[in-house]
A and B are shown apart, each in its own frame.
Chain A
Amino acid sequence: MAIFSVYVVNKAGGLIYQFDNYVPRAEAEKTFSYPLDLVLKIHDEKVVVSFGQRDGIRVGHALLSINGVDVNGKFTADGKEIIEYLKDSTNYPVSIRFGRARLSSNEKLMLASMFHSLFAIGSQLSPEVGSSGIEMLETDMFKLHCFQTLTGIKFIVLADPRQSGIDALLRKIYEIYSDFALKNPFYSLEMPIRCELFDQNLKGALEIAEKAGNFGPGS
């Protein structure tokens, strides 16, 4: 999967649509005996590995489930504090799944809003007048592409740095938005997009883009 996510941000900076296209990266489930040889700590309301790496479990991975039951932040599903639970030798052997913590929807909302504000920096820093906002943000793991329409809506795609054709994909997503969100009379502007047809067509467009296909007329 070379296209990781799609975000749509409205004029006020609110996230109105989000779609993740990647398979969760390697999660590791292992059985541990007392004492636990990983050092855990609480970070952002989650239990993460702060020291110790083995068998695919890395520093920064979050604790996702204990004995097959998903945890709830820093508590187990039945409300016990995880760190305390794991200090008790009678709870062992225990099977724990670690993996990269996925962003929660609140976190995504905040990040989108932050990006909306940052976007303007592009045009403010520009030595020439009339510059656009941020169009691309690059890291070693992904490239973020942003397209802002004349009406102020932003379409953001996170993709593999080597993925091409994202510009065409952004325009295609604009078309899909103008068709399946806007032409749905029951969809209110600026609100979260909850239209099945929009989802379906967006997924289709992502598939085509990943296969490096072209959005020719009539596609």
Chain B
Amino acid sequence: HLKDDQSTHDTSKLNLILFTLTYGALVTQLCKDYENDEEVNKQLDKMGYNIGVRLIEDFLARSSVGRCQDFRETADVIAKVAFKMYLGITPSVTNWSPAGDEFSLILESNPLVDFVELPDNHSTLVYSNLLCGVLRGALEMVQMAVDVKFAQDSLRGDNVTEIRMKFIKRIEENLPAGDE
């Protein structure tokens, strides 16, 4: 959780239930507005992206993580530092591709879906797709283009929730000087 800040409210008192309910309200409203699971998934990804590009600065400002030298380090930082800081969970990093450019995050639990059951008419809805956008947006700001998607989803019947992350390329435009 975020460390206590005198200038902002005491975050330890923030109720996770309010967060879960807020996210649920968001998804159901999107479902009403778009009436199409694919479209909702897209919107969630977009919103996640906008969150990610801002969240990364908060993450970098508060943790003392430096630039990762390779994708393995990135995976560790995401799983052990970022997920812990913002969602209080530590997914495990597994299923590395032979080229080392793809891995999976296995989430034993997911605070967003603690009380959620997907109805039959929303079988293609990726409820937590916001997270994919967040990861994509955050990594783009540190010059990494990645593809993020849910490979398994406990809400849709799988045993675990698995997020698959694939490194696409380093973003060379507007590289901060000193980072060649």
Contacts and interface: CB of A to CB of B under 8 A. Distances in A.
B57 interface: yes
B50 to A, nearest CB: 9
B60 A148 contact: no
A6 B90 CA distance: 38
A138 interface: no
B177 A177 contact: no
Interface string A185-200: 0000100000000000
Contact of B178 (A11, A133, A189): A133
A65 interface: no
Nearest to A13: B174
B92 to A, nearest CB: 25
Contacts of B15: none
B54 A179 contact: no
Interface in B53-100: 53-54, 56-58, 60-62, 66-67
A149 interface: yes
B4 interface: yes
B60 to A, nearest CB: 6
A217 B153 CA distance: 38
Overall SS of chain A's interface: loop
A151 B58 contact: no
A154 to B, nearest CB: 8
A120 B179 CA distance: 10
Contact of A171 (B7, B56, B61, B179): B61
A67 interface: no
A123 interface: yes
A11 B175 CA distance: 8
Q: Interface residues of B toward A: which range?
A: 20 to 34
A178 B57 contact: yes
Given A150-B60, A217-B4, A218-B5, A183 B178 contact: no
Interface residues of A, number: 30
Given A217-B4, A218-B5, A123 B174 contact: no
Given A148-B178, A151-B142, A179 B67 contact: no
Contacts of B141: 151
B12 to A, nearest CB: 12
Interface string B147-180: 0000000000000000000000000001111111
Interface of A: 11-12, 119-120, 122-123, 129-133, 148-153, 171, 174-175, 177-179, 182-183, 189, 201, 217-219
Given A120-B178, A122-B178, A182-B54, 20 more contacts: A12-B174, A123-B177, A123-B178, A130-B180, A131-B178, A133-B177, A133-B178, A149-B60, A149-B61, A149-B176, A150-B66, A150-B176, A150-B179, A151-B57, A174-B60, A175-B62, A178-B61, A178-B62, A183-B54, A218-B3
